[in-house]
Structure 1
């Protein structure tokens, strides 16, 4: 499908969406190198494409600076129109995809960290084993993939979805607790406000959905020393297993591991709601609907493991 740019063209040559989309992507990423990584291509290739496009439309669209690309006034004047064109093109793509009614094709699922590795991945493998016509791609990444652009078809996430037209459903409550190695407890005893100055902790980065975990830990051990902050639950777990610190960890991951124990805190363990999100235009595609129903049933079967009643 060919689109015309919202710039003054003397030549009247049509521009296709790929040319226009390049401008939008470069403005979004802010540099050739970042855009090349995001698109899976090379910086010289994008530079050549940009030069050719600027020559075609007779407008300079970006100023090159050492720290990246700066959109010119001409570029800024068309970005909102490009966003509208992208939204329209994506809506067409999603609605055409929604007409598919067989269990064939690919599904991209996004999750994060331990949840994707230890919970979601086995679910998806079990589903794929039953449906040989479906290929599933799992992306474990802390980035918030855009479901409207179909960066992913299904997302599992702590916290709510902030994109338009996303249907979300809570699939589980994940209970956390304070965990330490047996050797650590032997050295420092059970935690309390009185002895918290002797404790070391490893914390998760202060992402919005993780604030409740950090706040609970700081209330529990107000004088403990934070020896490491990380964006990975697995990193926390490795530090705890090494007997170097305590951490707030999900029971599903930490409970039952040799040499680890859940510490008695005297307070309610924090719980995070896990939600599934899917764009409203694609949720009834046969293969996506089938996978949603399958994972919901799987999470129901894991309820007692993910949220133990008496940890």
Structure 2
């Protein structure tokens, strides 16, 4: 550990993170219980300590600079770690109990969430988790769930959202299936291939075409509203499908259909209701999800 390289104060980092997540100094001051001038001085002190301008200041508005945006993910990881340290030191995590409902896609619920729940079990054994596995967007305002993982940012002001990552997806198939269709090396080579659709085929087709695939409705021979079922069809060699790199990595029987294909980039957002996030059990689960998927 290079201790001399750590020249900043955690309180200043906390002030920066709160300002980013709350959207303004005034909102961050309310969230942290500090005054706005104090928070502003702490952010300025962090800028001085690391020699980087974090915000562009125009009147009363703040806009992240490029350097500030590059630091956000690292600072969030520090915040998540600080939360876990505080809970562990006080023993609070083991005393937190109650139900938390998490809304996620069926693919994430099947392939990625169980490992995270196992981590949560060790951190807070009193937490009960209900997984709402659905590919529809849960209505958090109506309390369909406490926390949701989405690929679109919510627009409702009553919700808070944290962008966890920009994920990458590619076309996948089994080696046997690719051999059967002639081992294509270009997108045009998939003109006569069978494709697996997730959801309504007529809605899926434009996404395939936008990727440069010369497909028609007839190419989407097999489809399901369940992402898990669709992915199983790909794994069983029925055709070509799109999947996130993280999930595909857990399925050694499939390979990238085109190794040189450009990634399909999609974001993952962690969302909760502003009122619910003040609950210790929901905040804890929120932070564990953020640390695991960020």
Q: TM-score range by the shorter chain?
A: 0.5 to 0.7
CA distance in 2, matches of 1:211, 1:226: 8
Match of 1:281 in 2: 275
Change over 3 Å in CA distance of 1:133–1:234 after alignment to 2:
closer
Within the candidate set 106, 113, 128, 1:135 is matched to 128
CA distance in 1, matches of 2:263, 2:125: 41
Q: Does 1:110 align with 2:103?
A: yes
Shift, 1:257, TM fit: 2.9
Match of 1:64 in 2: none
Q: Does 1:161 align with 2:141?
A: no
Within the candidate set 183, 186, 190, 2:179 is matched to 186
Name whichever of 269-278 and 252-261 sits farther off.
252-261
Shift, 1:104, TM fit: 2.3
Aligned length: 199
CA distance in 2, matches of 1:103, 1:212: 47
CA distance in 2, matches of 1:287, 1:259: 38
Give the TM-score taking structure 1 as reference length.
0.57
Within the candidate set 182, 193, 201, 1:199 is matched to 193
CA distance in 1, matches of 2:205, 2:149: 19
Give the TM-score taking structure 2 as reference length.
0.60
CA distance in 2, matches of 1:116, 1:256: 14
CA distance in 2, matches of 1:275, 1:165: 15
Within the candidate set 226, 235, 239, 1:241 is matched to 235
Q: Which has the higher helix share?
A: 2
Unpaired runs of 5+ residues, structure 2, are 1-92
CA distance in 2, matches of 1:113, 1:185: 26
Change over 3 Å in CA distance of 1:143–1:221 after alignment to 2:
same
Shift, 1:216, TM fit: 4.2
| Residues 112, 247 of structure 2: 8 Å contact kept | no
CA distance in 1, matches of 2:153, 2:260: 29
Unpaired runs of 5+ residues, structure 1, are 1-100, 301-311
| Residues 121, 138 of structure 1: 8 Å contact kept | no
CA distance in 2, matches of 1:249, 1:202: 11
- The Cα offsets for residues 18-54 of structure 1, whole Å up to 9 and x where unpaired, read as xxxxxxxxxxxxxxxxxxxxxxxxxxxxxxxxxxxxx
Q: Does 1:172 align with 2:174?
A: no
